Amino acid sequence: MMKKIQLGKSDLEVFPIALGTNAVGGHNLYNNLDEEQGKEVVRTAIKNGVSLLDTAYVYGLGRSEELVGETAKEFSRDEYMIATKGAQYFDENDEEQISNDPEFLKEQVEQSLKRLQLDYIDLYYIHFPDEKTPKDKAVAALKELKDEGKIKAIGVSNFNLEQLKEANKDGYVDVVQLEYNLLNRENEHIFEYTFENNITFIPYFPLVSGLLAGKYTEDTKFDDLRAENPEFQGSKFKENLAKVEELRSIADNHNVGVAHVALAFYLTRPSLDVIIPGAKKPKQVIENLKTLNIKFSDAELERINKIFPVGGK
Ligand code: NAP
């Protein structure tokens, strides 16, 4: 039977492999996205037990939520859970702004519910911290929505440790979603707090946009977000490719791809019990399920820590 993970202190139990959907309708993030293929990615996930779908308002400014909601509706409500995020708005100059104002967040939840065609959202995150709202007040607004049954669990994303502690003053935070991957292990310092406070740590950007999947070479050219990411530039890119190659022998030992070694390593970290690899193709969703079969030896864990040390950006 498939293993299930309780999200924080909530009643939600999810399969440890979830799905990142910023490439489902995220036209502002990727070029030439095929919406039908995106829907097929979501369908494949749900059919294969990947119960938690991770979206956000900013992925396609509502389009990802619409497509995820539309596709999920083909299934019964107990077969999937949807996590979404909000905090952004666009001012009169069309510049993106962040607000954690309690009333604003409540309004954002209502809009997400409409786009997703849902009666309740399983997990709602404050996507980014703003500079002025006390974080416990922002979370209190979500707690009210939880008490009303409009959301089932509370998350925060891109909060530093201090902001997370403030947000969790009353113990209401179930999940924190932060950047974490083999090339950037800086956020490991949060694990102690999340572990002790029963908060699930969900890492985003786990495959560094596919860089940790071992399929790129020095000659690969990018025309999307990756073209601006320093990890994909010049000597840094070459260095990263060489490190990823070093994972190859571990992957071969387990008969999996390099991506799965990275993903399985994350699941060995304290309080990090759920991962959200993004996928553009249905095949990637299926492949990423292999992650759960990997059990590392101590020597393999040591080797991974040596290739990708904490602080070794
Ligand atoms: P990612 O998971 O690091 O990379 C995803 C990309 O890796 C895919 O689009 C695909 O790209 C490639 N890939 C996936 N599985 C693969 C496989 N088995 N073999 C080979 N390549 C594979 O990055 P991400 O999608 O940016 O992040 C994951 C999720 O995190 C997002 O969907 C989103 O839900 C969330 N996120 C959250 C925040 C936040 O602020 N909270 C920020 C960023 C992302 P190609 O097919 O093009 O190679």
Q: How is 113-162 classified by DSSP, letter by letter?
A: HHHHT-S-EEEEEE-S--SSS-HHHHHHHHHHHHHTTSEEEEEEES--HH
Residue 120 annotated in active site: no
The Å distance, Cα 118 to ligand 1 centre, comes to 25
Nearest CA to ligand 1 atom 36: 204
The Å distance, Cα 136 to ligand 1 centre, comes to 30
Per annotation, catalytic residue among 59, 125, 172, 204: 59
Write the CA distances from 91 to 88, 259, 265, integer angstroms. 10, 39, 41
Give the pLDDT score at 136: 98
Give the pLDDT score at 311: 83
Nearest CA to ligand 1 atom 45: 210
- Determine contact, residues 105/87, Cβ cutoff 8 Å: yes
Q: Tens digit of pLDDT per residue, the chain (313 long)?
A: 468 999 999 999 999 999 999 999 999 999 899 999 999 999 999 999 999 999 999 999 999 999 999 999 999 999 999 999 999 999 999 999 999 999 999 999 999 999 999 999 999 999 999 999 999 999 999 999 999 999 999 999 999 999 999 999 999 999 999 999 999 999 999 999 999 999 999 999 999 999 999 999 999 988 888 888 999 999 999 999 999 999 999 999 999 999 999 999 999 999 999 999 999 999 999 999 999 999 999 999 999 999 999 987 5
- Determine contact, residues 180/206, Cβ cutoff 8 Å: yes
Mutation pick for ligand 1 pocket among 59, 209, 232 (CB with most ligand atoms within 8 Å): 209
Give the pLDDT score at 313: 56
The Å distance, Cα 210 to ligand 1 centre, comes to 7
Give the pLDDT score at 223: 84
Give residues (CB < 6 A) around ligand 1.
Answer: 20-23, 54, 157-158, 177, 204-210, 213, 215, 257, 259, 276-280, 284, 287-288
Q: What is the pTM of this model?
A: 0.96
Nearest CA to ligand 1 atom 25: 278
Quick one: which atom of ligand 1 is closest to the CA of 215? 20
CB-based contacts of 214, cutoff 8 Å, min separation 6: 244, 245, 247, 248, 251, 257, 258, 259
The Å distance, Cα 19 to ligand 1 centre, comes to 9
Mutation pick for ligand 1 pocket among 33, 58, 204 (CB with most ligand atoms within 8 Å): 204
Write the CA distances from 115 to 56, 67, 99, 263, integer angstroms. 11, 9, 20, 30
